[in-house]
């Protein structure tokens, strides 16, 4: 059984609205531009495709996109927008899609949904098994904000606004974390949601890739190609399988 949280019908129905900032052209266009360039004339596989935030606009660029997604309600939301996009319902660390791909990708911190190192290693292996020779695996993930902590503190805010407050809680002994979301409702009340994840360091991801037979090709701080430094709060990393 996967350790991932599973999005139910209510959460899936409000996902696009609650993540509206991630659907803006400023966010999506650089993401889709890079992925389309990496896919080239080949097929792309999105792990944890969700409601199709990235997969649908990438398919609209002419890239044949396939998906793996654990939540059936999320897939239902995707298929309301693009019913012909093929999605396998299953665990991204194990589920298989027929054929091979020039690109496999995993965006928006979703590698952390797998809350054990074993599952994250298996996800890299599964990605590599789907790739053709010379194919690429792309992961977008945030850096844990541990540098913001004074001694003894476990929580750090990642968003403070009029309609939403978000806090991350970290257990540095286990690399387990929780994102707490407090969202203001129309009646003035607040909805509290908790998402669980395992944070992971770039060097650890590189080792997972190496275990799967891939090597790091490039790491940047964002989709626009900003250099990755010790002050970066996220990274987009690209690993590649050996050429045939």
Pair 115, 121: CB distance under 8 Å: no
State the Cα–Cα distance between residues 98 and 88, nearest whole angstrom: 10
State the Cα–Cα distance between residues 101 and 45, nearest whole angstrom: 7
232 pLDDT higher than 70? yes
Q: What is the largest CA-CA distance in the chain?
A: 59
Mean pLDDT over residues 9-35, rounded? Answer: 82
The pLDDT tens digits of the residues spanning 56-106 come to 999 999 999 999 999 999 999 999 999 999 999 999 999 999 999 999 999
Average pLDDT of the chain to the nearest whole number: 93
139 or 144: which carries more pLDDT confidence?
A: 139
112 pLDDT higher than 80? yes
Mean pLDDT over residues 106-112, rounded? Answer: 95
pLDDT grade for 9, boundaries at 50, 70 and 90: confident
* pTM of model > 0.85: yes
CATH fold label, 9-143+201-240: Rossmann fold (3.40.50)
State the Cα–Cα distance between residues 149 and 135, nearest whole angstrom: 39
- For the chain, the C-alpha Rg in angstroms (whole number) is 18
1 pLDDT higher than 80? no
**DSSP conformation letters of 143-196:** PP-GGGPPTT--EEEEEE-SSEEEEEEEETTTTEEEEEEEEE-TTS-EEEEEEE
Distance between start and end Cα atoms, the chain: 34
Q: In whole angstroms, how far apart are CA 208 and each of 26, 109, 110, 115?
A: 31, 16, 16, 15
Q: In whole angstroms, how far apart are CA 37 and each of 32, 173, 241?
A: 8, 39, 17
Q: Which helix (H) or strand (E) holds 119?
A: helix 117-130
The pLDDT tens digits of the residues spanning 147-196 come to 877 787 888 888 898 888 999 999 999 999 999 999 898 898 998 999 99
């Amino acid at each position: 059984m996967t350790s991932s949280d599973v999005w139910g019908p209510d959460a899936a129905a409000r996902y696009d609205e609650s993540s509206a900032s991630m659907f803006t052209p400023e966010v999506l266009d650089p993401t889709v531009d890079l992925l389309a360039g990496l896919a080239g004339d080949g097929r792309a596989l999105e792990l944890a495709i969700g409601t199709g935030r990235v997969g649908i606009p990438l398919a609209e660029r002419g890239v044949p996109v396939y998906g793996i997604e654990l939540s059936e309600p999320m897939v239902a939301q995707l298929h309301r927008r693009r019913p012909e996009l093929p999605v396998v319902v299953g665990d991204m660390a194990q589920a298989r899609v027929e054929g091979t791909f020039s690109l496999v990708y995993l965006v928006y911190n979703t590698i952390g949904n797998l809350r054990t190192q074993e599952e994250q290693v298996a996800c890299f292996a599964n990605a590599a098994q789907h790739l053709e020779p010379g194919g690429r695996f792309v992961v977008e993930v945030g850096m844990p904000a541990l540098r913001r902590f004074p001694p003894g503190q476990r929580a750090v805010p990642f968003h403070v606004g009029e309609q939403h407050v978000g806090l991350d809680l970290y257990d540095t002994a286990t690399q387990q974390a929780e994102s707490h979301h407090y969202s203001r409702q129309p009646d003035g009340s607040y909805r509290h949601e908790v998402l669980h994840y395992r944070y992971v360091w770039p060097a650890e991801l590189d080792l997972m890739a190496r275990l799967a037979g891939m090597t790091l090709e490039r790491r940047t701080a964002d989709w626009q190609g900003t250099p990755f430094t010790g002050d970066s709060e996220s990274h987009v990393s690209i690993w590649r399988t050996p050429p045939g």
